[in-house]
Amino acid sequence: MNRIRLLVFNPALPVLDYKVPAHLSVEPGSLVLAPLGPRQVLGIVWEADRLPGDEVPEAKLRPILEVLPVAPLAAPLRRLIEWCADYYVAPMNAVARMALGSMAALRGGGTTTEYRLSGHEPKRLTPQRAAAMDALHGEQATIRELAAIAGVSEAVLRGMANTGILEPVTVDLDRPYPRARADFAVPDLSAEQQQVADRFIAAVDAEEFRPFLLDGVTGSGKTECYFEAVAEAIRRKCQVLVLLPEIALTENFLRRFEARFGTPPVLWHSSLKASERRRAWRAIASGEAQVVVGARSALFLPYARLGLLVVDEAHEVSFKQDDGVRYNARDVAVIRARFEKVPVILASATPALESLEMAEAGVYERVVLPDRFGGAQLPEIAVLDLRKEPPERGRWLAPRLVAEMRERLERGEQSLLFLNRRGYAPLTLCRHCGYRFQCPNCSAWLVEHRLSRRLSCHHCGHEVPVPDECPQCHTGDCLVACGPGVERIADEVKELFPEARSALVTSDTLNSPEKISEFVAAAEQGLIDVIIGTQLVTKGYHFPELTLVGVVDADLGLEGGDLRAGERTYQQIAQVAGRAGRGEKPGEVLIQTRHPEAAVIAALAAGDRDAFYAAEAEGRREAGAPPFGRWAAIIVSSEDEAEAREASRAIGGARPNLPDVLVLGPAPAPLALLRGRYRYRLLINARRSAQLQDVIRQWLASLSFPQGVRVSVDIDPYSFV
């Protein structure tokens, strides 16, 4: 039989039947091109009995055109795609798309042309060309990518290429990566660490599905331990995927990897250049890439011989994807490991309650590293009650914190101030008429960024310059900043300690790998006295002279009423606290709060992690929240407010009437307007026994909506806005 069924990437026609002409041969998973009307479509050959669709009569079958020169998607990956589509109530082709690189990658190897500065400097340059030359130092990329880097049009760069300022470089797309060496620099593990590493190594050798929860305090050497499992996989010529939150994919981590294995890993993240992406994808699919370190999107790539999966900082919220296919990479990693029959290690100092419960239930093997490496002590954590010890008027740092910082300065040690809020102030208003600056596309205030002199929306990116007068009452010089962002704290530090060398660490200031490396080097060399940062500083850094961490506002994360607010606050503060006292000198942490009685703050202060998790588990059990019950959300949006409301009401009206499923809403979402779309939400709370996905599928299948309405389902939601 040469009839085949294809999964194609057309939202309206996800499944199509074809025949295979005699000169071609395919198997399930093969990537092929097929005719569709006058066009060609890309398709994946799929087992017909697993992909329901209308059967095309024999006489109407058209032949496929071409089989692409890449390995077929293997069965475990195909099963993973099916599983995700089913579990996350997502279209299968949307999930499958995440496995594919660019069309260019599927087309096979070859060469591409990139450009770089030739060194030739003409005597006269237009200002545009001069600016482009400044921006392009050390860069080599395609014209289009260089245009984005330099902020000029492609035409300008083509002109520069024609006059010899830029020179073409032919790049081999499939040039091999340097080999990682399992035994390049084997560390001396402590006895405790060795035991942990041995368990991982045995699991890699066993080549079977074994999920581990590596639960170890910050600085205990979790990375060192799982690196030994990575080494074992390399010895066995298997591939490894290490998933990291995007913000932890730092130069720092890569250097550490290189020090252990003699070469950096193969990287995968959202800002790879097209040629890097293509090269990495092809090396992954061919099995040539040994160790891939990537953000969540690396999870669906077609590894030829996967031998181990690691999810580091597994508690991180950023593993949850909230657009397109709404999946949680931490959970999908475990499922992938199960289909691939390989071990998976979830590593964290502050595991998600869900992960702890899985360990408790015996589904995950819990592996514990209770102590910091080398005898370093965990920091002392103290609470600073802002109601009793308020900062001076117009300031945000309480006197005790300031005094501690002064001591550190005198001793030549470092302090770190943590506030998870970018910009100068989260709200700007007019002193005269009360006007508040709001985003026109979102229900959100505009955040003042003093460094760039702009008001910006952190949801959609809308920006305006800070005006001289109030747009409503036209009074001049009347705008007041309300509340602090990190830039404001940095100003306060400058006023308090004019002589101190401070560094502001946010995605606005450290926006390139070079700037991050510069910061890390300066901090390591003791050239920085005070670090002021957002969550960007909570991850991975190891600064031995850092002995004081000040949490500027511990209550920030507790606002908003999100289901995991307590857990997230606990994790963030425990992680940032974990930056203190990693060297020989002990660390101290001061938490500024107005709610010292809150369970999470009390547990942090008492150093009683178990108490926190117990209280958290109790609260969730009562609320029927995960892991004891299940949540799902249906989000309805449209550019037309009435249309969105109507659609959400129609969904609400068709709600299932089941004993184990409770539907809340529809109600306007907390972010009722986002990127110009009006949003309504329904929240579904179900017992664990309920067939939640089937219920939702059937429920929505009976409804139809106007073109402009988007309905998306979020299983196990993290965001409640």
Burial zone of 609 (CB within 10 Å; 0-12 exposed, 13-18 middle, 19+ buried): middle
222 contacts ligand ADP (rule: CB under 6 A): yes
221 contacts ligand ADP (rule: CB under 6 A): yes
Closest distance to ligand ADP from the beta carbon of 262 (Å): 16
| The entry of ligand ADP, Zn ion, none that residue 101 binds, CB within 5 to 8 Å by partner kind | none
Q: Would you say 96 or 457 has its CB closer to Zn ion?
A: 457
Contact (CB, 8 A) for 442 and 459 = yes
Closest Cα to residue 629, out of 395, 353, 313?
353
| The entry of Zn ion, ligand ADP, none that residue 637 binds, CB within 5 to 8 Å by partner kind | none
Contact (CB, 8 A) for 414 and 408 = yes
For ligand ADP, the binding residue among 30, 93, 190, 593 (CB under 6 A) is 190
Closest distance to ligand ADP from the beta carbon of 260 (Å): 9
Q: Which stretch binds ligand ADP (CB under 6 A): 187-195, 392-400, 491-499, 662-670?
A: 187-195
Residue showing tokens 């079977």:
208
Q: Would you say 371 or 567 has its CB closer to ligand ADP?
A: 371
Report whether the peptide linkage leading into residue 498 is cis, meaning its omega lies within 30 degrees of zero: no
Q: Which stretch binds ligand ADP (CB under 6 A): 86-94, 159-167, 216-224, 442-450?
A: 216-224
Closest Cα to residue 110, out of 121, 100, 118, 102?
102
Q: Would you say 227 or 339 has its CB closer to ligand ADP?
A: 227
3-class state of residue 255 by DSSP: helix
Closest distance to ligand ADP from the beta carbon of 350 (Å): 11
Q: Which stretch binds ligand ADP (CB under 6 A): 78-86, 114-122, 184-192, 233-241?
A: 184-192
| The entry of ligand ADP, Zn ion, none that residue 542 binds, CB within 5 to 8 Å by partner kind | ligand ADP
**Both tokens assigned to 150:** 């330099």
| Per-residue x/- track, 347-386, ligand ADP (CB under 6 A) | --------------------------x-------------
**DSSP conformational letter for 378:** P
Q: Which stretch binds ligand ADP (CB under 6 A): 185-193, 437-445, 484-492, 611-619?
A: 185-193
For ligand ADP, the binding residue among 49, 134, 188, 622 (CB under 6 A) is 188
Q: Would you say 313 or 714 has its CB closer to ligand ADP?
A: 313
Q: Report how far Cα 619 is from the mean position of its chain's Cα atoms.
A: 27
Closest Cα to residue 426, out of 486, 493, 484?
484
Q: Would you say 211 or 216 has its CB closer to ligand ADP?
A: 216
- Angle, helix 127-135 to helix 154-162, in steps of 10 degrees: 90
| The entry of Zn ion, ligand ADP, none that residue 581 binds, CB within 5 to 8 Å by partner kind | none
Burial zone of 282 (CB within 10 Å; 0-12 exposed, 13-18 middle, 19+ buried): buried
| Per-residue x/- track, 538-567, ligand ADP (CB under 6 A) | ----x-------------------------
For ligand ADP, the binding residue among 93, 142, 223, 321 (CB under 6 A) is 223
Contact (CB, 8 A) for 284 and 105 = no
**Both tokens assigned to 721:** 């806005």
Q: Which stretch binds ligand ADP (CB under 6 A): 222-230, 490-498, 558-566, 647-655?
A: 222-230
Task: Give the torsion sign (CA, 496, 502, 507, 509).
Answer: positive
SS (H, E, C) 684-697: EEEECCCCHHHHHH
Closest Cα to residue 378, out of 217, 228, 497?
217
- Overall residue count recorded for the chain in this entry: 721
Residue showing tokens 């409503």:
472
253 contacts ligand ADP (rule: CB under 6 A): no
| The entry of Zn ion, ligand ADP, none that residue 63 binds, CB within 5 to 8 Å by partner kind | none
| The entry of ligand ADP, Zn ion, none that residue 462 binds, CB within 5 to 8 Å by partner kind | Zn ion
For ligand ADP, the binding residue among 74, 189, 293, 574 (CB under 6 A) is 189
250 contacts ligand ADP (rule: CB under 6 A): no
Closest distance to ligand ADP from the beta carbon of 242 (Å): 12
* Contacts with Zn ion, residue ranges (CB under 5 A): 439, 441-442, 457, 459-460, 462
Closest distance to ligand ADP from the beta carbon of 190 (Å): 6
Through-space distance between the first and last CA atoms of the chain, rounded to whole angstroms:
51
Burial zone of 245 (CB within 10 Å; 0-12 exposed, 13-18 middle, 19+ buried): buried
Query: 142 to 181, contacts with ligand ADP by CB under 6 A?
Result: none
**Beta strands per DSSP E along 438-500:** 447-449, 454-456, 463-465, 479-482
Closest distance to ligand ADP from the beta carbon of 193 (Å): 5
218 contacts ligand ADP (rule: CB under 6 A): yes
**DSSP conformational letter for 668:** E
Q: Would you say 218 or 534 has its CB closer to ligand ADP?
A: 218
| The entry of Zn ion, ligand ADP, none that residue 221 binds, CB within 5 to 8 Å by partner kind | ligand ADP
Q: Would you say 542 or 645 has its CB closer to ligand ADP?
A: 542
Closest distance to ligand ADP from the beta carbon of 166 (Å): 41
| The entry of Zn ion, ligand ADP, none that residue 460 binds, CB within 5 to 8 Å by partner kind | Zn ion
Closest Cα to residue 638, out of 649, 654, 629, 622?
649
**DSSP conformational letter for 183:** T
187 contacts ligand ADP (rule: CB under 6 A): yes
**Both tokens assigned to 239:** 């591939």
CB atoms within 10 A of CB 659: 7
Closest distance to ligand ADP from the beta carbon of 218 (Å): 5
Separation CA 701–CA 649 (nearest Å): 15
**Both tokens assigned to 105:** 């990658």
193 contacts ligand ADP (rule: CB under 6 A): yes
Residue showing tokens 């100068």:
424
CB atoms within 10 A of CB 394: 6
Closest Cα to residue 638, out of 669, 607, 614?
669
For ligand ADP, the binding residue among 43, 216, 307, 484 (CB under 6 A) is 216
Query: Using CB under 6 A as the criterion, which residues of the chain lie in contact with ligand ADP when the complex forms?
Result: 187-190, 193, 216, 218-224, 373, 542
